[in-house]
Amino acid sequence: MSNVVVIGSQWGDEGKGKIVDWLSARADVVCRFQGGHNAGHTLVIDGVTYKLSLLPSGVVRQGKQSIIGNGVVIDPWALMEEIERVTAAGVDIGPHNLMVAENAALILPVHRAVDMAREAARGAKKIGTTGRGIGPAYEDKVARRAIRVCDLMDPASLEGRVDELLIHHNALLTGLGVETFERAALMKELEAISVKLAPYAGVVWKELEKIRHQNKRVLFEGAQGVMLDVDHGTYPFVTSSNTVPGQAASGTGVGPRSVGYVLGITKAYTTRVGSGPFPSELTDEVGERLGERGREFGVVTGRKRRCGWFDAALVRQSVKLGGMDGIAFTKLDVLDGFEELKICTGYEIDGRKYDYLPASTGMQARAKPIYETMEGWSESTFGARSWADLPATAIKYIRRVEELIETPVALLSTSPERDDTILVRDPFDG
């Protein structure tokens, strides 16, 4: 039996939460390996909606072991609030079934302040961050001044680490004309939250090694999508971490062979939140219709998502970058009722055709989509649970997508409900 890593194949918001929750029924452990609480997953289970940001989506499966790996940057106050909120909804969460990597870096109030101040200073050139401090926290991690979960349990050295962190950030905040932070106040906040976080802290790499020897199935869960990867995405309009499946290994402490089957979550059309290039974006009534039908608003921020036709060239690029074995195709029902559908198969940039999106920011901004038109369908695909329930033209659309992205559909999701899923191939079978 194989482990499975789940990643987004576009710019995030592809419906990973529902797919991870569905797959977690087949897994023993669900492990989050990157990102922060700037991304959210919505799960609809028996009519109850759960909105998660830091907690692995499998946590709503009662008794399912969940892990937050070292590749995640953790806002401990946000994590505790989320645990309390989800527990109040009837989900059993505690140190007995949730472990947080002791070497994970923390997001502090100063990171949020810096994030928002810099975005405000950029004005019209803002990146479009959520203002939750994720970028500054990752910067501190790379600069070797981050405060980690384990540092909270070491008061003797914590004060010195806070001093080093504030020397850097207070100078920046002063330059931006924003109020600075006092060491004593921040120390008091850290001392209070450490008491709540300490019971969850653990040695994740060692726990996963034990799990490997027990031949248990692990579901590795990522956030955002490949095109938001800090190295391979539409830089600089990206997140601050690696979102590709290779991060599942380094973000949890397992060997690369432990990752297993790579499943890319892929929406039947394309969306993006925030600024940045989007060749197949639709700013007309069709784009509005996709947004309304797909309820395209961010789980965390509530921001309206930009919508457009399916970009096969973009997904194919993600497939190659991520080594995807198959995709989970989501939100097909949003396309119900369209007389015709378009698929972006490549780009035209400065008179030249490309079958991929070049790395140059300027070229990405000038990319014009090359479309292929297909017949739509009038019948409903909502809630379909077998291929026999799908219109012939919908199946034709799916098959054409498979051809263009050069990857098969392993799962097909037809509604937010957990059981409205068509299984073509079980990823855990490898």
Q: Are 244 and 232 in contact (CB under 8 A)?
A: yes
What 8-state DSSP symbol labels residue 147? P
Give Cβ neighbours of residue 46 (< 8 Å, ≥ 6 apart). none
Q: Which two tokens stand for residue 347?
A: 């780009």
Q: Which two tokens stand for residue 52?
A: 């998660």
Between vectors from CA 363 to CA 354 and to CA 269, what angle results, nearest 5°? 65
User: Using CA atoms, how far apart are residues 115 and 240, in angstroms rounded to an integer?
Assistant: 12
User: Using CA atoms, how far apart are residues 203 and 383, in angstroms rounded to an integer?
Assistant: 41
Q: Which residues pair with 35 in a beta bridge?
A: 72
Altogether, the residues listed in the chain come to a count of 430
User: Using CA atoms, how far apart are residues 169 and 178, in angstroms rounded to an integer?
Assistant: 11
User: Which residues are identified as catalytic?
Assistant: 13, 41
Q: Are 326 and 408 in contact (CB under 8 A)?
A: yes
Counting beta carbons within 10 angstroms of the beta carbon of residue 160, is it exposed (0 to 12), middle (13 to 18) or buried (19 or more)? exposed
What is the SS3 string spanning 308-333? ECEEHHHHHHHHHHHCCCEEEEECHH
Q: Which two tokens stand for residue 330?
A: 């989501």
Give Cβ neighbours of residue 16 (< 8 Å, ≥ 6 apart). 6, 7, 8, 41, 57, 221, 222, 223, 265
Counting beta carbons within 10 angstroms of the beta carbon of residue 92, is it exposed (0 to 12), middle (13 to 18) or buried (19 or more)? middle
Counting beta carbons within 10 angstroms of the beta carbon of residue 198, is it exposed (0 to 12), middle (13 to 18) or buried (19 or more)? middle
User: Using CA atoms, how far apart are residues 308 and 354, in angstroms rounded to an integer?
Assistant: 19
180-183, long-range: CB within 8 Å, 24+ apart, which pairs?
A: 181/109, 181/110, 181/113, 183/159
